[in-house]
A and B are shown apart, each in its own frame.
Chain A
Amino acid sequence: MPVLFYISSAIAIIATIMVITRYEPIHALLYLVVSFMAVSMIFLSVGAPFVAVLEVILYAGAIIVLFIFVVMMLNLGSVTAVQEKQWLKPKVWVGPSVLTLLLLVELIILLFRGSNTDMSMPPVEVKRVSLTLYREYIIAVELAGFLLMAGVVGAAHIGKHTKKHLHRFLQEEKPTIADLPDNRSEIPIEKDKKELAEPVV
């Protein structure tokens, strides 16, 4: 239905503009969620329900939640909003905006002139997508898998910290300098900061 398509496209565009112009990071992210949902609605209206639902599950439901999580941890408050306000001067945004507007004009000209203005595309089956992925593009999929694995290993390495028992009876015995009777006074008293920090998720 073209009406639904145009309504959701309008919502997507407005929400995305709001994302850019908000000073408070969380408000911007919330508009981003709305934008993703509008895009999902666009997919639904052109006959791709699977992609539409995936858009909500992955982007709106998982990735933006992670963004919000990070913003919450950084505790960006009103100070950042003031800073943003100072950054967002005409000098900064006029250049990119003019260039983007030129692209928009080109797009509109193409839309009015070209013959392929048909909005309704034939829906692509999930099965066909997966068969293409795992037959012709299998190397690309495998490479992406390697990349993700490297990311996981890296994150695990960064997040790793040795387990330390707070009670002295549970501590593992290590033959260190501290065991020698003469160096008793020089035992380095470690303030274990890692123990105090939040466990990395």
Chain B
Amino acid sequence: MTVMQHIWIVLGVLFVLLNIAAGLIWVERRMLALWQDRLGPNRAGPFGILIVLADTLKLFFKEDWIPPFADKWIFITAPAIVVGTVLLSFVIIPFAPNIVVADLNIGLLFFLAMSSLAVYSIVLGGWASNNKYALLGGMRGASQMIAYEVFMGLSLMGVVMLTGSFKLSDIVAAQKDMWFCIKQPVGLVVFFIAGIAETHRLPFDIPESESELVAGYHSEYSGMKFGMFFIGEYLGITLISAMTTTIFFGGWLGPFLPPWLWFFIKTFAFIMFFILLRASLPRPRYDQLMEYGWKLLLPLVLLNLLITGAIALWIRG
């Protein structure tokens, strides 16, 4: 691959991702409306698709207000961290056989490292706002994300054992005969649940739960800084969907259609699932979430690791 090609891939991935993240605003509203028997946005443009443009314009022209009681520099940096870390995670995802920014041999670990750095955006945003609701949201976010990071990492280790590599293209290649969603069903379920908690999407949007904490960690944010949190959330959904596709559903593998299209279709199916979850499930309480994680998911995932390791050893002789 020449340098020029590489640069084109980087720019292309960035362009597609930012457009998907913006487009998801419209997709989510329309789908929510469909599932909740409402109309949804239908005024601006065909099927209301120009709502994306209107929303972005609105965010850009809002007053960008930094509260005088806030810690200014941390307040400004916090929204950038979430977008930065999530975009960096996309570096390791193989979209098609040759379309990958950097196929690192520690790819999966890099993803985990970036998702563990994303916690800072919530924690610092909540702390720097100097507001009790924001602080509560930030604290909930910190404990939720630290807890679910553990299960997320452990749930992927079964796949790593079966593949013998952290490299994502190797993991995709190992699924030629059978997808890992059949060999590692427990890993898949735990990974997806942990993914929802990591992106703090509904039903696990406890850090921002608007009915009790106003808007949680981003109560004080406005304008494009709030927009960054917003875009970061949609990028996070796309990231978890793309990772689920790559690790458990064979990535680009599939008959007839070109590889990138298969990847796109599978990823989009998971994004739809994320939105369906939001449309249908109520939010658990904070202590229920913690109990669920440590008392159910952790033993489950450890058991999964033990059994996978035993079987892998037995097969290899």
User: Which A residues form the contact surface with B (CB < 8 A)?
Assistant: 24, 26-27, 30, 33, 49-50, 53-54, 56-57, 60-62, 65-66, 68-69, 72-73, 199, 201
Within the complex, what minimum Cβ distance (angstroms) separates A185 from chain B? Answer: 36
Residue numbers in A under 8 Å from B143 (CB-CB): 69, 201
Please give me the residue from chain A that is nearest to B126 by CB atom. Answer: A72
CB distance from A70 to the nearest CB of B (A): 10
**In the complex the two chains form, is A61's CB within 8 Å of B123's CB?**
no
Q: How far is the CB of B236 from chain A (nearest CB, A)?
A: 16
Not counting A53-B110, A53-B112, A61-B119, a sample of 5 additional A-B residue pairs whose C-beta atoms are within 8 angstroms of each other reads A60-B116, A61-B149, A68-B123, A68-B124, A201-B290
17 contacts between A and B (CB under 8 A): A24-B71, A33-B120, A49-B105, A53-B106, A53-B110, A54-B109, A56-B117, A57-B112, A57-B153, A60-B117, A62-B146, A65-B123, A65-B146, A69-B139, A72-B123, A72-B126, A73-B139
Main SS at interface, chain B: helix
Provide the B102-135 mask, 1 if CB < 8 A to any CB of A, else 0. 0011100110110011011001101100000001
Chain B residues lying within 8 Å of A26, measured Cβ to Cβ, are 71, 74, 124, 127
Given contacts A65-B146, A199-B287, contact A57 B123 (CB under 8 A): no
Measured CB to CB, the closest approach of chain B to A54, in angstroms, equals: 8
Cβ–Cβ contact A68 & B127, under 8 A: yes
Q: Mark B38-73, 1 if CB is under 8 A from A, else 0.
A: 000000000000000000000000000000000100
Chain B nearest CB from A37 CB (Å) reads 9
Residues of chain B within 8 A (CB-CB) of A68 are 123-124, 127, 142
Chain A CB within 8 A of B232 CB: no
Interface residues of B (CB under 8 A from A): 71, 74, 104-106, 109-110, 112-113, 116-117, 119-120, 123-124, 126-127, 135, 138-139, 142-143, 145-147, 149, 153, 286-287, 290
Query: Which 4 A-B pairs rank lowest in CB-CB distance, beginning with the nearest?
Result: A61-B116, A56-B113, A53-B109, A199-B287
The number of A-B residue pairs with CB atoms under 8 Å apart is: 70
Contact of B113 among A57, A73, A199 (CB under 8 A): A57
In the complex, the chain A residue whose C-beta lies closest to that of B113 is A56
Residues on A with C-beta less than 8 A from B146 are 62, 65-66, 69
**Smallest Cβ distance from A119 to chain B, in angstroms?**
21
- Which residues of B lie under 8 Å from residue A50 when comparing CB positions? 106, 109
CB distance from A59 to the nearest CB of B (A): 10
A56 pairs with B116, CB closer than 8 A: yes
Q: Are A53 and B113 within 8 A (Cβ)?
A: yes
The smallest beta-carbon distance between B117 and chain A, in angstroms, is 6
CB-CB < 8 A to B138: which residues of A?
72
Chain B residues near A65 (CB-CB < 8 A): 116, 119-120, 123, 142, 145-146
Q: Given A26-B127, A30-B74, A49-B106, are A61 and B117 neighbors across the interface (CB < 8 Å)?
A: yes
A53 nearest in chain B by CB position: B109
C-alpha gap A56/B142 in the complex (Å): 16
Residues of B with C-beta under 8 A to A199 = 286-287, 290
Interface centre among A33, A62, A66 (most CB of B within 10 A): A62
Q: Which residues of A contact B106 (CB under 8 A)?
A: 49-50, 53
- Bound CA–CA A201/B287 (angstroms): 8
Query: Across the interface, which residues of B come within 8 angstroms of A72, CB to CB?
Result: 123, 126-127, 135, 138-139, 142
Min CB–CB distance A44 → chain B (angstroms): 10
CA distance A191 to B287 in the complex (A): 22
Q: What is the minimal beta-carbon distance from A130 to any residue of chain B, in angstroms?
A: 13
Contacts known (A49-B106, A65-B146, A69-B139); A57 close to B74, Cβ less than 8 A = no
Docked pose: A30 CA to B81 CA in angstroms: 13
Across the interface, which residues of A come within 8 angstroms of B123, CB to CB? 65, 68-69, 72
Nearest residue (CB) in B for A73 is B139
Cβ of B147: which chain A residues have Cβ within 8 Å of it? 201
Question: Which residues of B sit under 8 angstroms from A201, Cβ to Cβ?
Answer: 143, 147, 290
Q: Considering the complex, give the chain B residue whose CB is closest to the CB of A60.
A: B117
Bound-complex Cα distance A30 to B106 (A): 26
Instruction: Name the distance in Å between B305's Cβ and chain A's nearest Cβ.
Output: 15
| CB closest chain-A residue, reference B294 | A201
A136-B223 Cα distance, complex, nearest whole Å: 58
Q: Kindly state the separation between the CA atoms of A2 and B305 in the bound complex, as whole angstroms.
A: 40
B124 cross-chain contacts in A, Cβ below 8 A: 26, 30, 68
Shortest CB distance B295–A (Å): 12
A57 to B74, CA, bound (A): 22
Which residues from chain A contact B120 at a C-beta distance below 8 Å? 33, 65
- The residue in chain B whose Cβ has the minimal distance to the Cβ of A37 is B117
- Of all chain B residues, which has the CB nearest A69? B142
Q: Say whether B139 contacts A57, CB under 8 Å.
A: no
- Closest Cβ of chain B to A26, distance in Å, is 6
